[in-house]
Each structure stands twice: as C-alpha cells, then as structure tokens.
Chains A and B, each alone.
Chain A
Amino acid sequence: MFNTASTTPEKILQMLSALLLFAAVMGIILFIAGRFGGKKGDRVVAYLYLLPVLLLLAVGLVYPGLRTIYQSFFDAAGDAFIGFDNYGTIFTDADQLTVLRNTVFWVVLTPFVATAIGLVYAILVDKSRFESFAKTLIFLPMSISFVAASVIWKFMYEYRPDQGTVKQIGLINQVIVWLGGKPIQLLIESPLNTFLLIVVMIWIQAGFAMTILSAAIKAIPDDIIEAARLDGVNAWSMFRKITLPSVQPTVVVVLTTIGIGTLKVFDIVRTMTGGNFETSVVANEFYRQTFNADNQGLGAALATLLFLLVIPIVWYNIRSLRQSEAR
C-alpha cells in the first residue's frame, strides 16, 4: 500500500485505502472526543482536535522554517558560521532598497485593490440571473497556471517599434498606437513596470477575494436586509451600514491572505522580467539566491526577512480580532 502504484486500478485502490485510513483516524479522534463532555472536557477535546494538525504543521512547516532561520547564519555552502553577515548584505546593497520598495508596493496595493474589486463584484452579481457565469469570468484567472498567465500578459505588454511593416503584438501598445501615440517599452520603465506586474497579481487575486466574500455575503441573514429595505435604505447606505460591517471579519481574512500570498509570490516577476529593470521583490531575491546563485545562507536570510515582513500583517489581524471581540 505504501509502494509506487503503476496501474490505474492499483492507484485508485491506494487512494481509497488512504481515504479509509484517514477516516479511521478521524473516527478514533471523534470517538475519544465524544467521551469527554461538559466544560471541563473542553481542554482535552480541543487538544485532541488539534493533534493531527499540530503534528503535520510541526514537521512540515515549523521544522523547515526553523531550519531556514538557522541556515541564514551560515555561508553560501552552509558550512561556515558567519553570524549576521548575510543580513548585512541584504541591507547595505543599494539594489536591495529598490527591492524592499517594490515589495512594499506589492503588499500594499494588491490586497486592497483585489479585495475591493472582488467585494464590489460579488455584491453586484449577487442573486442576479447570471451569477454563476459572471463569477466564473472573474474566477478564470485564478485557474490559469502562472506559466499561462505570463503568456497572456505577454500579449498585453509586449512592445514592438512603430516602424515600417512591424505590427504591435501587445494590446496596450496597440491601443496607444491607435490613439496616435508611440509605443512604450512597458516592462523597462521603472516604476511603471512594477505597477504593471502588480496589475497581473490583482487580476488573479480578485477571483479569490470574490469567491470568499461571496460566501460571506450569502451568510448575511436575509431578515436584516429585508428590514433595511423596508426602511427605505438605498444601495450605497445598504453597502456601508449593513453589508460591509457584516463581512468585515471576512474582509480582514481576505486582505491578510492575499497580503501573505503576495509576499511569497515571485513567479510573475521571475517569468516576466526576471527581476531585472528594478522590478525585483524580496521573494524573487530569495528564489534567485537559493536556486540561481546557489547561496543557501543568503537565500535563507531573505526567507527569514519574509517571515519578519509578515509581522505587521499578523499585528493587523490581532487588532482586528480584538476590535471584533469588543463589538
């Protein structure tokens, strides 16, 4: 059962046995949990429920995370201890300041714009006749792999000179030419290029925001909406006074998730500009040092920097949680 399965029936059998094994484990946990009732039993049940999760996370994420931080104090090959040298490199290199600046742009713009668009759209199509179809259109970019997305946006941003028989291949430059202007080398102009790359990320993430927020909107009790309607509330007030406050916790969740995801993403930068022309972000530098330059220590230090950059987002969540608890 733990071997490589080669034929289709074997594979299906393996999958089914895995699922059964899992169901059995869950069953055991629930069975034991059922034995403990009342408030006193809460603690035991809680830890029981958390047990599998904590186990998997400890091995799969915490251990590698700690190992990375440890590695960041060693050199490129991982042999010699060099203290904080790697961090020194990160913060003294002039290019790195641009990298940090870009990262801030990414992490501030993407969550807010994507969430705003996702929320507005979810409300607009809620309960409409073509809701499923409409939502699918915004969802589509999420289901496309990054490789395909880079081809898609190549067709948007590509530059060709305005000369002779040469035609534009990128839509944006084509529109510029149709309007009488000269084509721009979009991906070389900094900081325009960073914003254009951020657009790609927003284009993808709006679908995520929309889907989650759509679920949240569906959870708003109908009677509250009814009541407001009968009180003669208009669409804008409805949004501000009913919808938004009701989905606010979910909005925080969506902002946080997209924010953290944006911190980690480098595929867009990597495939579209390779991090050149002042477009690089911390995650891309992390990938570059770890896999291209084979500098394990510096790569680990950049990953640790990512861990630190998530702290403001965590703090924002804590604040939000406290506020919602006070409500």
Chain B
Amino acid sequence: MFGQPTSPRIRAALAGTLSAGLVFGLAACGGGSDDDSAGTDASASAIDCAPYTKFGDLKGKTVTIYTGIVTPEDTPHIESYKPFENCTGATIKYEGDKSFETQILVRARAGNPPDLAIVPQPGLVKQLVTTGKAVAAPQEVSDNVDKFWDKAWKSYTTIDGKFYGAPLGASVKSLVWYSPTEFKDNGYTVPTTLDELKALSDKIAGTGKKPWCAGIASGDATGWPVTDWVEDFMLRTAGPEKYDEWVSHKIPFNGPEATAALDAVGGYLKNDAYVNGGLGDIKSIATTTFQDAGLQIIDGNCSLHRQASFYAANFDKDTKVAADGDVFAFYLPGPDANTKPVLGAGEFVVAFADRPEVKAFQTYLSSDVWANTKAKLSSGWVTANKGLDPNNLTNPIDKLAGTILLDPKATFRFDGSDQMPAAVGSDAFWKQSTAWITGQDTATTLNNIEKAWPK
C-alpha cells in the first residue's frame, strides 16, 4: 500500500490533531454546564392565553423568525417565547444570523422569506415592502402599537398608508460613557447642557489628558458612529422638526443645518486637544474599532466616549457598569437643561406570511406581556413599550436607558441613517464620514453624500 515509509509520521500527526480534538471535546463536555442560572424559567410564568384563542387551534404549527441577533443576546429572546408556546402549542423556530441584513433581502427577493423578521432599520423595512413579499400587520398588532407606543414609532413602518411592523426592542444613542470613579476623584460633575459638556472637556484637556476617545472602524460599516454623532448634534443645533426634514430629504443633506451640525461634531472629533485618548491622533479614530475605543476609559487614558446603550456589552465581566462602578453613562445633554432630544434606534417585526399562527405570534410580541417577560430575562435590553414596568429591568444601564426613553419631557427621534435609502444610510454616509475623519473637509463630505441620494 502506498505511504508506508511515511506512515509513522502521518500517524503521529494524526494522533496530534485527534488528541487536540479530544481536548476540545472534553472542554465541551466539561465546560458546558446546564444553564439554569440566568433568568427565571420563563415557562413557569404563566400568561393570559385569552388574546390568542381567537386564532384557532395552533397546536403543532411552526413559526420561523429570522434575526440578526445572535449569541448571547438570542437566549433571552428564545426563552421569552416559551410562555406563548405553552399557551398555544405552537413552536417558534429562531434563526439568528450576523449577515441578516443582506440575507433577508436575498431571501425576500428570491421568494424564500421567513415567516417573521426582526428588522433593525426602517429603511430596510421599506426595501422589504418594495419586494412585494411583506405582509401588512394584522389589526390586533396595530391596536397594540396604538396602545403601547408613541405615534412616532408607528410611523416608521407605515408605508403608503399600510402599517407593517410593530416595534420590539430599542436602544438609546444619546449617551456619553464615563468613569464615575474618575469623576468623583476629580470633582467633575455630570454636565446638563452642551456648554457644560464643552467646559468639562476643556477642563480635562487642561490637565494634559485627552478627554475623548472614539473609534469608528467596523469592517464594511466603518464610519457609522460618526453618523450617530451628526444626528445627535443635528437634533441639538437644528431641532427635531428640521431633523425630520433632513432625514426625509425635504431639505438637502448638505444644507446649512447639516453643515452646522457636522462642524459642531468636528469641534469634538477633529479637535486635537480632545482626541484620541490613549489611541493616537485624529486619524486613529478611523482605524480604531468602535468596540475597542471606549475601553480606554477603564485604562484611564480617556474620560468620555459617546456611544449607545448597547455598548455595555463591550466591557468584560469584571468591570462594574453602574453609577457607583468602574464605568457608566450619562445622557448627552441638550442645548439647555429643559430641552431633551433623544436619538435612539430599535427593531421592528415584519411578517411575510399571514397564517393564523404567525398573526398570533406577532400579537404576542407587540404586547406588554412579552415586553415584561423579556425584561426579566435580559440584561442589556430595553424597549420603548410603554407597558414595560421599569422595575423589571435588571441592569443599571437598561434602567437608565428605559428612564430616558419613557421620560415625558424627552423628544425621541429614530436614527437618521437607518431611515435613509440604502445608498446613503448604509453606504455614502459611512464612507464619507470616514473620509471626513481622515482629513476631508465638511463641505466636500456633505456634498458627496447629497450626490448619492437616489433621484
């Protein structure tokens, strides 16, 4: 047989790899203990099954739900479906996939969509509706949304007068991360107006430390954090009404309002005295991943990092994220203490089928029952569902975000780039922002983005 002279070596090499495999196998058996710890056993919490009886007998039926939410955030979602499954006898198949945003379009266009999809951008919802495969939301869902959400939330997925997607979770983006310990040690106070924020930055810069750290690298989405900065400042310098006009292109993208907003951002991100704490010069913002940037707070190399509520997941297990811990966040202040614009984002449940079990599940997801069930199971999750009892939120950042979202004085606006057409919101805006960081001027940047708006 061939290979005899070399077979001892091959055998040795094989043994090597196979034993490595064994080690991994043992790690798998040994390391993976049963997860009974996190969250309560949701199936035990019985819910009122009455709202679902009208959909008929759903025993044995399956509903597929496709999302971009993967581990570890998917576990609370899957757990939160159990009460519904117990009630109706239906089975929910959860498919989590990081390339959700491209795949959902491929699947919808080719005629193979899931039953439900959790879509994180209104712009993407619009694209899905254009494929003709999306189905309008049932009346029960529409009623729930009227009851539990602000009018604005419903408008994001109402296209041509038809309502398509109930909101699900949300995130708050107008947050600045900081170190409570550092603030206490140095006598810094949390700013309540933009001027105070600037003064604080100057104060910290005066001590020889770069106050801000930022990072916008994110693979082919590089540049998206700048869009959040711009939108936050657009809300604060031009006001929510102008913001809406700018997002829907009623005023040009490169108008005076946007120019003022981008320059205001430049006052922070392109200010040599302010950036980039612990990471380098202004240009390093473009190559630092958004995940890495805020970690400099823990290392003491910077003091302030503007990022959304979901950033909490970036800190490792030993870091205490609380008002009295290693790191926490404060609300990015408005122009004055009484004006509170809040930039945020969220996801929507869009249906591609109208079978009874799909409609029933959609109804469940848009209810306050689901929101509270989910809150009790999650850490690092919040919703704008008014039926949510904030006491069910387990984690300080969630409580903070929840309070901000439900504050009657706050004016909520959805992330602009998530609403704009794809050519702008997931392409030009990102690319031009990155070029802006590495030296391109404000006017050219805004002009290029304006050129990319589809006619």
Q: Which residues of A contact B (CB under 8 A)?
A: 76-77, 129-133, 136, 159-161, 163-166, 185, 187-188, 270-277, 287-289, 291-295
A295–B301 Cα gap in the complex (Å)? 42
Q: Which residue of B lies closest to A158 (CB)?
A: B287
Question: Residues of A contacting B284 with CB < 8 Å?
Answer: 159, 161, 185
CB distance from A273 to the nearest CB of B (A): 7
Q: Can you list, as one digit per residue, whether each of B421-438 has a CB less than 8 Å from chain A (1) or not (0)?
A: 111001110110011001
Question: Residues of B contacting A165 with CB < 8 Å?
Answer: 299, 301
Q: Can you list, as one digit per residue, whether each of B102-132 has a CB less than 8 Å from chain A (1) or not (0)?
A: 1001000000000000000000000100100
CB distance from A92 to the nearest CB of B (A): 13
23 A-B residue pairings within 8 Å (CB atoms):
A76-B423, A76-B454, A77-B130, A159-B287, A161-B279, A164-B301, A166-B278, A185-B283, A185-B287, A187-B287, A188-B438, A270-B219, A274-B219, A274-B221, A274-B223, A275-B431, A276-B286, A291-B105, A293-B422, A293-B426, A293-B427, A293-B428, A294-B423
A166-B278, A274-B217, A294-B422 provided; 7 other pairs, C-beta below 8 A? A160-B280, A272-B219, A275-B220, A276-B223, A276-B431, A292-B427, A293-B452
Question: Residues of A contacting B171 with CB < 8 Å?
Answer: none
A273–B220 Cα gap in the complex (Å)? 7
Q: Can you list, as one digit per residue, whether each of B262-284 has a CB less than 8 Å from chain A (1) or not (0)?
A: 00000000000000001111011
Question: Residues of A contacting B250 with CB < 8 Å?
Answer: none
Whether the Cβ atoms of A130 and B9 lie closer than 8 Å is yes
Q: Can you list, as one digit per residue, whether each of B1-45 has a CB less than 8 Å from chain A (1) or not (0)?
A: 000001001100100000000000000000000000000000000
- CB contacts under 8 Å to A, within B213-254, are 217-223
CB distance from B451 to the nearest CB of A (A): 10
Complex partner residue of A292 from B13, B217, B422, B434, CB under 8 angstroms: B422
Whether the Cβ atoms of B283 and A292 lie closer than 8 Å is no
Q: Which residue of B lies closest to A130 (CB)?
A: B9
Question: Residues of B contacting A188 with CB < 8 Å?
Answer: 283, 286-287, 438
- CB contacts under 8 Å to A, within B401-450, are 421-423, 426-428, 430-431, 434-435, 438
Q: Which residue of B lies closest to A150 (CB)?
A: B219
Question: Residues of A contacting B286 with CB < 8 Å?
Answer: 188, 276-277
Q: Which residue of A lies closest to B106 (CB)?
A: A291
A293–B422 Cα gap in the complex (Å)? 5
A188–B439 Cα gap in the complex (Å)? 11
Q: Can you list, as one digit per residue, whether each of B298-323 has a CB less than 8 Å from chain A (1) or not (0)?
A: 01010000000000000000000000
Q: Which 3 A-B pairs have the closest CB atoms?
A: A274-B222, A294-B422, A293-B427
A164–B428 Cα gap in the complex (Å)? 37
Whether the Cβ atoms of B434 and A160 lie closer than 8 Å is no
A76–B127 Cα gap in the complex (Å)? 12
Main secondary structure of the interface of A (DSSP, over half): loop
CB distance from B414 to the nearest CB of A (A): 19
> How many of chain B's residues have a CB under 8 angstroms from any CB in A?
38
Q: Can you list, as one digit per residue, whether each of B382-401 has a CB less than 8 Å from chain A (1) or not (0)?
A: 00000000000000000000
Q: Which residue of A lies closest to B17 (CB)?
A: A136
Interface centre among A132, A276, A277, A293 (most CB of B within 10 A): A276
CB distance from A89 to the nearest CB of B (A): 11
A77–B431 Cα gap in the complex (Å)? 22
CB distance from A194 to the nearest CB of B (A): 15
Question: Residues of B contacting A166 with CB < 8 Å?
Answer: 278-279, 301
Known: A161-B280, A293-B427. A273 touches B222 (CB 8 A): yes
A163–B105 Cα gap in the complex (Å)? 46
Interface centre among B217, B220, B438 (most CB of A within 10 A): B220
A129–B6 Cα gap in the complex (Å)? 8
Known: A185-B280, A293-B426. A132 touches B13 (CB 8 A): yes
CB distance from A173 to the nearest CB of B (A): 11
CB distance from A4 to the nearest CB of B (A): 11
Whether the Cβ atoms of B281 and A161 lie closer than 8 Å is yes
Whether the Cβ atoms of B280 and A276 lie closer than 8 Å is no
CB distance from A150 to the nearest CB of B (A): 8
Known: A133-B13, A276-B431, A293-B426. A270 touches B220 (CB 8 A): yes
Question: Residues of B contacting A133 with CB < 8 Å?
Answer: 9, 13
Question: Residues of A contacting B435 with CB < 8 Å?
Answer: 276
Question: Residues of B contacting A163 with CB < 8 Å?
Answer: 278
CB distance from A90 to the nearest CB of B (A): 15
Whether the Cβ atoms of B426 and A292 lie closer than 8 Å is yes
Question: Residues of A contacting B428 with CB < 8 Å?
Answer: 293
Interface centre among B9, B105, B219, B428 (most CB of A within 10 A): B219
A292–B452 Cα gap in the complex (Å)? 13
Q: Which residue of B lies closest to A133 (CB)?
A: B13
Whether the Cβ atoms of B222 and A159 lie closer than 8 Å is no
A288–B301 Cα gap in the complex (Å)? 35
CB distance from A248 to the nearest CB of B (A): 26
Question: Residues of A contacting B299 with CB < 8 Å?
Answer: 165
Known: A187-B287, A188-B438. A292 touches B280 (CB 8 A): no
CB distance from B311 to the nearest CB of A (A): 20
A169–B430 Cα gap in the complex (Å)? 26
Question: Residues of B contacting A291 with CB < 8 Å?
Answer: 102, 105
CB distance from B68 to the nearest CB of A (A): 14
CB distance from B277 to the nearest CB of A (A): 10
Question: Residues of B contacting A288 with CB < 8 Å?
Answer: 220, 427
Q: Which residue of B lies closest to A270 (CB)?
A: B220
CB distance from B119 to the nearest CB of A (A): 14
Question: Residues of B contacting A77 with CB < 8 Å?
Answer: 130
Question: Residues of A contacting B10 with CB < 8 Å?
Answer: 132
Question: Residues of A contacting B438 with CB < 8 Å?
Answer: 188, 276-277
Known: A132-B10, A159-B284. A274 touches B427 (CB 8 A): no
